[in-house]
Amino acid sequence: MNKKILLGIFALGVLSGCGNKDLGLGNYEYHYVTCSGVIELHNEEITSWKDNDGEQLEFTLKSTGNDILASANYCVLSEERLGE
């Protein structure tokens, strides 16, 4: 029984590793990122994102396909473009 629960939790973690997420706790769907600090991005479209323990965000830019790892303190994910 415990092995089935652990396997279910592991599968949920693997399946939600990238992209927009719905873990049953709410739907988290973002399409744009804005960062200020070491990296400067404004309303860059993203194809996927991942929250790394609340400290860092990993996202893929649609324009270049580059994966970027940035501090969550300096970046904002949004469903729509900001400030336009």
Q: Is the pTM of this model over 0.75?
A: no
| For residues 46-56, average pLDDT | 88
Report how far residue 60's alpha carbon sits from residue 43's, in angstroms, rounded to the nearest whole number. 13
More confident residue, 31 or 37: 31
| For residues 3-8, average pLDDT | 56
**CA distances, 17 to each of 20, 59, 75 (Å):** 9, 11, 19
